[in-house]
Amino acid sequence: MAPPFTTPHIEDSQKRIRVLFNGTWLVDTTKAKLVWQKPHYPTYFFESADVPKEYLKAHEKQNDPNLTEYDLVVDGRKAEGVVRQYHTGDFEGLTLIPFGAVDAWFEEEEQIFVHPKDPYKRVDVLQSSRHVRVVVNGVEVANTTKPRLLFETSLSVRTYIPKTDCRMDLLVPSDLTTQCPYKGVANYYSISLPDGSLAENIVWWYRSPQLECAEIKGYVAFYDEKVDVWVNGSLQ
């Protein structure tokens, strides 16, 4: 069944899924479930029998009669109340371990980040010859005819621009990073304008993008919602 579908939606995963916490494999299964609790991306759930009880300790505060909450405890390290085993409803017999509560997730031999990739989502990067100008508070900060356009299912198109076509003298490195399961780890720039103002964290780029988005390596993208973007002479 392909989207759109109603949530929650549950499918069998065809991949071997492993979950690592404090140096221990908590889960190693080929029977994981992909669950869409929200329409935008799935989460992994597991058959409760595939989550060893030796690492689970009943959480002191139980807030929902339909499930049991557990602390995750491995060699003295504890993540309190993060594991949920469901007894009724759509998720009966399944266990949820939140993605960010553990150290690493693997599909087969490949580590994944942020959340599982949606098998119904596609990401394409295409070379374009559109003339793109980016203006911030009246100052042109990028001007190119060599953008690369990133098309991601259900999201707005993002324009990636060669750094050589940007005002790098105005771009100030930021400490901010974010992660995307499709693109990888993004670094950010702020823009220091000639009037002394600072437009914070409105530019991002990927030093080492995931393979499917390798073509955006080293290119920068501007938050279109926060800047003025002109494409072939028309303000977007």
Same fold? 9-112, 123-235: yes
Kindly report, residue by residue over 137-152, the tens digit of the pLDDT: 999 999 999 999 999 9
Segments making up each domain of the chain, as ranges: 9-112, 123-235
pLDDT band, very low/low/confident/very high, at 3 (cuts 50, 70, 90): low
- Per cent of the chain over pLDDT 90 is 86
What's the confidence (pLDDT) of residue 58? 87
pLDDT (tens digit, 9 = 90+) per residue, 156-180? 999 999 999 999 999 999 999 999 9
pLDDT at 2 over 60: no
Mean pLDDT of 180-191: 96
pTM recorded for the entire structure: 0.85
Q: What are the structure tokens assigned to 30, written together?
A: 């080929």
Is the per-residue pLDDT at 1 higher than 60?
A: no
The topology (CATH level 3) of 123-235 is 2.170.150
Judging by beta carbons within 10 Å of its beta carbon (0-12, 13-18, 19+), is residue 1 exposed, middle or buried?
exposed
User: Is the confidence at residue 226, as pLDDT, over 90?
Assistant: yes
Mean per-residue pLDDT of the chain: 93
| Residues 47-91 pLDDT 10s | 999 999 999 998 877 778 888 999 999 999 999 999 999 999 999
Query: If you average pLDDT over residues 37-46, what whole number do you get?
Result: 90
Say if residue 152 is exposed, middle or buried (CB neighbours under 10 Å; 0-12, 13-18, 19+). Answer: middle
Flag whether pLDDT at 15 surpasses 90: yes
pLDDT attached to residue 62: 75
Instruction: Write 46-51 long-range contacts (CB < 8 A, 24+).
Output: 46/17, 46/94, 46/95, 46/96, 46/97, 47/93, 47/94, 47/95, 48/85, 48/93, 48/94, 48/95, 50/95, 51/26, 51/27, 51/83, 51/85, 51/95, 51/97
- Give the range among 1-10, 30-39, 83-92, 175-184 with minimum mean pLDDT: 1-10
Residue 31's pLDDT is: 97
* Residues, the chain: 236
- The class level of CATH for 9-112 reads mainly beta
N- to C-terminal Cα separation, the chain: 36
